Structure 1
Amino acid sequence: MATQVNVREIILETLLLITRDGEYSHIALKNVLDKYQYLEKRERAFITRVVEGTLERQIEIDYIINQFSKVKVNKQKPVIRTILRSSVYQLKYMDHVPDSAVCNEAVKLAGKKGFVNLKGFVNGVLRNISRNLDMLSYPDPSNEIACLSVRYSLPMWMVEKWISVYGKETVEKMGKAFLEERPVTVRRNTAVVSKEEFEKELEKDGVVYRRHPVLPYAYELTNYDYLAGLLAFQKGYFYIQDISSMQVAEWAEPKEGDYVIDVCAAPGGKAIHLAEKLSGTGYVEARDLTEYKVALIEENIERRGLDNIEAVCQDATINDEASYEKADILIADLPCSGLGILGKKPDLKSKMTVEMAKGLADLQRQILTVVHNYVKPGGKLLYSTCTINREENEDNTAWFVENFPEFEKIREKQMLPGSDMGDGFYIAEFRKQ
């Protein structure tokens, strides 16, 4: 019989790993769910919802706590701050959890973690918030930046940057889209399974699916317990990938026999998609920086049973003369600030800074300066990021064309959550003269 575990303690430890110790939310949550896979689906869903929800709404939650606590959030001890945050999320956004249970469990947890002297503080703040939830004060709507920042839990610098480019209405759509619950999107492995067989396999496991209206191999999945537990996953019938990310292979339009290099490929989605589109011909070299990342690509290649693709350990910032003018298609999906995927990685809201985003834009230029050499005359270069930031996207595209005039820009697109399907994503396509 499994040892009794305290689900709220698991939530606390997971949030501390992310907010105090710097672990990425998707990694911390995956590790926790794998470790406690024996828990009931309902309990695992509760852990996921509270961890993700607390991170997604953190700016709004802190704004609320600061209205009722004499000790401001940034002055509180990490354990107490985290207990308060996850409790306020439950009070405000989880109607089926009784307020009294939220407050009682938070007080117990503070005591269990060695803060017996702060149990009264935790109790007082939470009871006060619970009584006044309908009378919370928010920033004045005339202050657009502060108002959007708190309403959608977006850092002020992001809101300011986006409003200057897209306007208030579009930023509001993006903010809403980041907070919406979305089904997981997958790409069917067309090389090994037909549409009919794939759908039949999903139905056997009780999975509810919805076909994508444009991409015939893309599906949204809901009503499953554990994705890796599905037979369709174990057989390599699908790959988890966002709709916007699938566009890279669509734009690349590989021809049979093409030689493809993906310079920052992990975990391998785009490279594998291209290998499938080559129908067993050509060759895809999926490169990445570390042995760990290469192992991730290899694992995904193996599950799909493809033999026209290979994972290679290679630093994209280091010149590889042996690759000069070898690639018909070069994929440069480069490290970025990730501002387009805040719905999936909400911790980036607090981790990313203006300075870090600027550093990443410089790194992208450094990599493009090296890897453009690998494209054949007449070949294509696809530059993509999962961010919404002109410096990393449109500005870098303009810089690239100016500095490497042998490349002509064919097209570019910034996809925005709430306006386009899928994540915030940018793609630019160049052809070498």
Structure 2
Amino acid sequence: MAVDLARETALKILYDITENHAYSNISVNRHLENDKLREIDRSFATELVYGTVKWLLQIDYVLGKYSSVKLKKLSPWIKNILRLGIYQLLHTDRIPVSAACNTGVELAKRYGHQASSRFVNAVLRNIAKSKNNIPYPDKSDNVNYLSILYSHPVWMVEKWIELYGTEFTEELLKSNNQVPDFIIRTNTLKTDRVTLLDMLHKEGISAEPGRYIEEAVILKSPSSITNLEVFKNGYFQVQDESSMLAAKILDPKEGETVIDVCSAPGGKATHMAQLMNNKGTIIARDVYQHKLKLIEQSCCRLGIDIIKTEIHDACCLDETFTGKADRVLIDAPCSGLGIIRKKPDIKYSRTEKELREITGLQREILKNSSKYLKPGGYLLYSTCTIQQEENLDIVSDFLEDNPDFRLTGFQELMPPTLDIASSAEGYIQLFPNINQTDGFFISKIKREK
């Protein structure tokens, strides 16, 4: 029996992620460049990788229950073959048990030896037989039960229960394991949403209006969008609605000077350029040239010429811009715990120690970037996380130390379909389980003097 190319590709990517600590999205993109892969194989390999990573904690727990060999003693290749097989057995309905088991055996022959293939076959067949009776932790051990059932680290579950309570946390964990909508933003410099929807339908793409933002479109069949003429011609940009809200709430005007201090890959900067009708100046900064190149490429495709890219570390004050900006956007580096649906490996790569360290970086960026504002100017601080210590705590501490700044309400800028009371106070927190968006924090600050 020949080795299934899609599954073999998924195995190589999974090995890269688990053994070489590669970022899932980067590893997937690199491996899927293989010319031998058909589009259907690319889609299947991607599903296998993200599905396995998403459920990795649970998968390893189950593997530990059914393997006669301890996980740390298993060859990394065999361990990842078993992980792929267990994902298919427990979390997909359309893959026959025989296909999941047999392809695992064939992979084990190639990446192990004859004994390995027999071992893989025995473990997977055993799990398949008892998949409805797997001994998960008892519900009385609430944290461990939720941790294994929804495949999130114990420390994360504990922290969220402390912040939000058990019921909310379980809904959040469940939501983090769902596949998010694929959202794009209409480029209003070139078209409108109605026309874009029509163009997408003509290219065979199923699409519908977004939930909240008038430029937003939900794609129902998003594979290979970069090959679409409508993309190449710059009629849209990929961006979640939560991220679109940031530019809407900062509300930049034509002719203004805006500094986007942590800009790459440039979704918010290009959205602001649209809102400014491509009139004014946007300084888009990042610490890496290759990331700035992504912004420049987007600007070229979208027909934007008011964005100027610059290499600059947002932690360092640039005195040449002190008091020069009408508006400042800080989409701060963060733990990313609001985008687990899109990047499931975040669950396992983040630690409590990192959370404590990143808040120092966020404070420094906010302190320095606030100095660029003119009196009467506005600053937006946002993150793609749901951790209060990275969000409202950072903003509250800044305001306490800087009496010339204050939170300013923006309820008039909120979409009619998104009613969040705290917008009147100058901040909002979005959650995937409530708002069907990324977990995202936005606050708006005005410099009075």
TM-score normalised by the chain length of structure 2: 0.92
What is the match of residue 436 of structure 2? 421
Tell whether the 8 Å contact from 1:26 to 1:344 is kept in structure 2 after alignment: no
- What amino acid is aligned across from residue 298 of structure 1 in structure 2? E
What is the match of residue 342 of structure 2? 344
Residue range with higher mean Cα deviation, 77-86 or 97-106: 97-106
Q: Does residue 66 of the first structure (1) align with residue 71 of the second (2)?
A: no
Residue 102 and residue 214 in structure 1: after superposition, are their counterparts in 2 closer, same or farther (change >3 A)?
closer
Partners of 2:338 and 2:192 lie apart in 1 by 32
Please list the CA deviations of residues 12-54 of structure 1 after superposition, one character each: whole Å capped at 9, or x if unmatched: 1001111111111111112223x13663332222111110100
SS of 2:388's equivalent in the other structure is coil
What is the match of residue 54 of structure 1? 52
What is the match of residue 406 of structure 1? 404
Of 130, 133, 136 in structure 2, the residue corresponding to residue 132 of structure 1 is 130
Partners of 2:113 and 2:322 lie apart in 1 by 62
What is the match of residue 11 of structure 2? 12
SS of 1:20's equivalent in the other structure is helix
Which segments of 5 or more consecutive residues in structure 2 lack a partner in the other structure? 409-425
What is the match of residue 368 of structure 1? 366
Please list the CA deviations of residues 33-91 of structure 1 after superposition, one character each: whole Å capped at 9, or x if unmatched: 3x136633322221111101000111111111111112233442221111111110011
Which segments of 5 or more consecutive residues in structure 1 lack a partner in the other structure? none
Partners of 1:57 and 1:17 lie apart in 2 by 17
Matches within 5 A, 1:162-201: 162-201=160-199
Q: Does residue 290 of the first structure (1) align with residue 288 of the second (2)?
A: yes
Tell whether the 8 Å contact from 2:59 to 2:83 is kept in structure 1 after alignment: yes
What is the match of residue 76 of structure 2? 78
1:328 to partner: Cα distance: 0.9
Partners of 1:227 and 1:288 lie apart in 2 by 26
Matches within 5 A, 1:71-150: 71-150=69-148
SS of 2:309's equivalent in the other structure is strand
Tell whether the 8 Å contact from 1:59 to 1:153 is kept in structure 2 after alignment: yes
Partners of 2:120 and 2:36 lie apart in 1 by 31
- What amino acid is aligned across from residue 219 of structure 1 in structure 2? V
Residue range with higher mean Cα deviation, 149-158 or 94-103: 94-103
SS of 2:389's equivalent in the other structure is coil
Q: Does residue 23 of the first structure (1) align with residue 38 of the second (2)?
A: no
**Number of equivalent positions:** 430
Please list the CA deviations of residues 74-115 of structure 1 after superposition, one character each: whole Å capped at 9, or x if unmatched: 442221111111110011122222212222221221221244
Q: Does residue 235 of the first structure (1) align with residue 243 of the second (2)?
A: no
Partners of 1:335 and 1:406 lie apart in 2 by 25
Residue 74 and residue 425 in structure 1: after superposition, are their counterparts in 2 closer, same or farther (change >3 A)?
farther
What is the match of residue 253 of structure 1? 251
- What amino acid is aligned across from residue 186 of structure 2 in structure 1? R
Residue range with higher mean Cα deviation, 184-193 or 388-397: 388-397
Partners of 2:305 and 2:244 lie apart in 1 by 21
What is the match of residue 275 of structure 2? 277
SS of 2:258's equivalent in the other structure is strand
1:4 to partner: Cα distance: 9.3
SS of 2:326's equivalent in the other structure is strand
What is the match of residue 311 of structure 1? 309
- What amino acid is aligned across from residue 185 of structure 1 in structure 2? I
Partners of 1:269 and 1:109 lie apart in 2 by 40
- What amino acid is aligned across from residue 28 of structure 1 in structure 2? S
Tell whether the 8 Å contact from 1:386 to 1:424 is kept in structure 2 after alignment: yes
Partners of 2:157 and 2:63 lie apart in 1 by 22
Partners of 1:307 and 1:131 lie apart in 2 by 61
State the percentage of identical aligned residues: 40
Partners of 2:264 and 2:353 lie apart in 1 by 25
1:387 to partner: Cα distance: 0.8
- What amino acid is aligned across from residue 246 of structure 2 in structure 1? V
What is the match of residue 421 of structure 2? none
1:5 to partner: Cα distance: 6.9
- What amino acid is aligned across from residue 113 of structure 1 in structure 2? Y
SS of 1:215's equivalent in the other structure is coil
Tell whether the 8 Å contact from 2:53 to 2:344 is kept in structure 1 after alignment: yes
Q: What is the root-mean-square deviation in Å for CA atoms of aligned residues?
A: 1.6
What is the match of residue 420 of structure 2? none
What is the match of residue 331 of structure 2? 333
Q: Does residue 210 of the first structure (1) align with residue 208 of the second (2)?
A: yes
Partners of 1:193 and 1:94 lie apart in 2 by 40
TM-score normalised by the chain length of structure 1: 0.96
Matches within 5 A, 1:24-39: 24-33=23-32, 35-36=33-34, 39=37
SS of 1:203's equivalent in the other structure is helix
Tell whether the 8 Å contact from 2:212 to 2:241 is kept in structure 1 after alignment: no
Tell whether the 8 Å contact from 1:244 to 1:421 is kept in structure 2 after alignment: no
SS of 1:391's equivalent in the other structure is helix
Tell whether the 8 Å contact from 2:6 to 2:37 is kept in structure 1 after alignment: no
1:316 to partner: Cα distance: 1.0
Tell whether the 8 Å contact from 1:339 to 1:386 is kept in structure 2 after alignment: yes
Partners of 2:341 and 2:61 lie apart in 1 by 20
1:382 to partner: Cα distance: 0.7
Tell whether the 8 Å contact from 2:78 to 2:111 is kept in structure 1 after alignment: no
